[in-house]
Structure 1
């Protein structure tokens, strides 16, 4: 009876919450990386170099870095419904303002403001999921949420390429139309969030009475079990060495993710194909990675193992980037980019299941935000280094090797974290039990 109640409750909250937050992240990721497609024509219209594009695309994450922790603390206090709505409306307005860019300075300023506006969204959703789903189910649920990123690339690439064809309509460039039209969903969904989201299980009138009672009891019991070993205070989430280690692990995966999001269209374009062909080809790797990501995360949940479910994908992504540097054929390049997509997509959900095993309350809010804010600086350094190396050498190869090195470092740090915490944390324990 209890098992049936658990399955019924988890099924109901999954269908209520997960498709909706996937839609939100789908829109967020498009607005974050559509600069990759806009730059196919924007760079010529505004005279941008690869360094300018890489720096401007990456400076988004400095805004993220500065405002991520404060934003998540506010969300923990006022609730996800109000704060996520605010975040989405703000970033929708600023994303549309990208159409007003006239040169490097305005480009840098608006991208920085976009990062500041969007700060708190991703870690806020990760924190939100920890209110609703028991720890043993969290990697799988997180995988579905994060699958929105590769799905947005798969579906958004041909759409973005098509919007570039609006060039000249009403006196606007195609890239200006791209920014304006792709900002509209964020504005609309920001309003929907306010009326649709529920902050806590106790407030879930859409659950049956027995389902709500089971969920509240289960989550309270989980928090009580963590009470003796978890850290709860605001400062402990910032200062925890494990949080800092996971931040560095996430740094490498973010460098890889945004290298793909921002530079993959340019890398494919080098083979001399049209913008629409770039859009269609760029959709292939993330489409495949979605399936791999969900399977890998469910495997991690079933086994309870996290460490090697992060390490192996990071190594695979690094190998894919190394292969991409040597690929001269279309098939070889897309195959290499597919391996990179699979590796990065598969590493992230198990990684995000680690912090809430040793953090709760305000510490979880600040800890998750710290990991995301520091880690996402990889989204600055990866694309920026690729742009600088491209201008210096005329090739993407050096930059891709640099990002591959960061992914190897992420794998090594994950292993070190597991070894040093063996027997002291759930993460280390399951690594030991799995025989790795």
Structure 2
């Protein structure tokens, strides 16, 4: 039987049990997880043929001539297919990754720094933001990650910073529109300091001034989502933020703010708490959060060292600590258990997630999708997950037997639960019982 540590490695820090990874995880569970932080870069190529960004622009921003020639309904249908391919690529990448902990980190940071397809200008392109601003920086410093996000044109589009004009700038003096605070507020509240991070509305306003002047040409056919700085829209003069003077420097001002945020004690605490809450428990142990916060401050936000502190804590490997599988994660974990792969599998996982209320890349707010147990693991969710387990089993089958299933997911379960699963009328029923149970849904 596979060890409890190996199960935790595969399910809590991976994307679920996978036969092709089980031997390596069983040999040294903790080393297997840590190796994904410090080993070779195992980032996966996109697993589905997704068009490059330049080829997507005509679907997102069709000219009048293109709409006349192709028809708006055909363009809308092609745009919908593009969105499906984007989501399927993310699912297949997770199903096939040899470094599933990295995929978990990509998902965590995307939700932390979320952008959403609910903004029309970002339909079908959010994966580009994930690939450019998130994925390359998950094993670096928080400052580099924060900078990649804050400077990315899609974040400026999502949080309306392209609409922000300094009131005392040349354009601002004759414009009706003024400062937009959305990006500044979320940069402080959601991305770094946290809602109780010690800043004021005045600080938000000052950061918003710092961020004025950036323009994004999303529909540029030669350079889609090209970002430029327009000094004529930028608020002139020094700004005061958290007691620091941000010297007037035009487009260089945001980096002065980012340097302050990345080294602030509130940021160290907020990021450490969110990581611990996401991977360990909805209410993580306080001593763990304190240790991670200290590591963050002592290493200038070295994310690998912060996460290693988490992995060294006893709670990281305690089976009683539980985090819920979001619907997409549930589908990936169940398909992995079946040994199922391919574009049809990804499409069914996508459909399952949407039926459960989880539209990947389309969070309802800048907070991203919540990872709290009470939101996702409800009686209605249990019924849906059981039904989708039946469908996936019928469609793709499995070479995994019930004994292995019990050995993986029912360690520590009561004899009655084990007998119930072993006594299921068919293997499909056994898999359906597991797929709807807390033993599977709470990693």
What TM-score results when the alignment is normalised by the length of structure 1? 0.33
Name the structure where helix makes up a greater proportion of residues.
Answer: 1
Structure number with the bigger relative contact order (C-alpha 8 A, sep ≥ 6) is 1
Q: Rg larger in 1 or in 2? A: 2
